[in-house]
Amino acid sequence: MKQCRSCLARAESIADICPVCGIDQHKLRKDLTVREKRIRGAARGIRIVAMFHLIIAAIALLMMPEFPAPVVVAALAVLNCVLAYGLVRYSLLAYKAATVYYFLIGMVNVISIQRGAVHLGGIAFALIALYLVGNRNAKAIFERRLPESD
């Protein structure tokens, strides 16, 4: 099984077209059209968000003994790992779960902002992740369709 040069997904290409991003596998980066470059950037952004989910899960597992309810922290770590796996596989279900998760993180941090400036980072993470996963090109990747032309 080959890996796509643009979206880095492992999928069998049909006639050298990636089934996830729809970009020809023989095109070099400099030969991509503007629309294909946007799709490639959206796919890479999704993978960056998935990496942040893995980092958050690792931090949660390392800090688990310091919290009074380690089961809840372990559940959040597992949730982050599952979201990272789904986002890397460009799953539509993971897209829907991730958008709900980012809205919840954003709302919790907006409500908790009076406790300190640390919650500004949570708001920033929620907004950036929501943009990277929820923009038009990323949504087209999750739905396995090319975005409409501009």
85 domain-assigned: yes
The verdict on residue 9 lying in a domain is: no
Q: Is residue 100 part of a domain?
A: yes
| Total-model pTM | 0.86
* Residue 52 counted as domain residue: yes
Domain that holds residue 70: 29-142
Q: Is pLDDT at 145 greater than 70 in this prediction?
A: yes
- Residue 36 domain-assigned? yes
- 67 falls within a domain: yes
Is residue 6 one of the residues assigned to a domain? no
Domain total in the chain: 1
The pLDDT of residue 16: 80
d(CA 97, CA 109): 18
Instruction: Please enumerate in sequence order all residues whose Cβ is within 8 A of that of 124, keeping only pairs 6 or more positions apart, or say none.
Output: none
- Quick one: what percent of the chain has pLDDT higher than 70? 95
One-letter amino acid for residue 136 of the chain: R
> Average model confidence (pLDDT) for the chain?
88
Kindly state whether residue 114 falls inside one of the protein's structural domains. yes
Q: Which one is predicted more confidently, 38 or 15?
A: 38
CA 130, 74, 65, 53 torsion-angle sign: negative
For the stretch 55-88, pLDDT in tens is 999 998 998 888 888 899 999 999 999 999 999 9
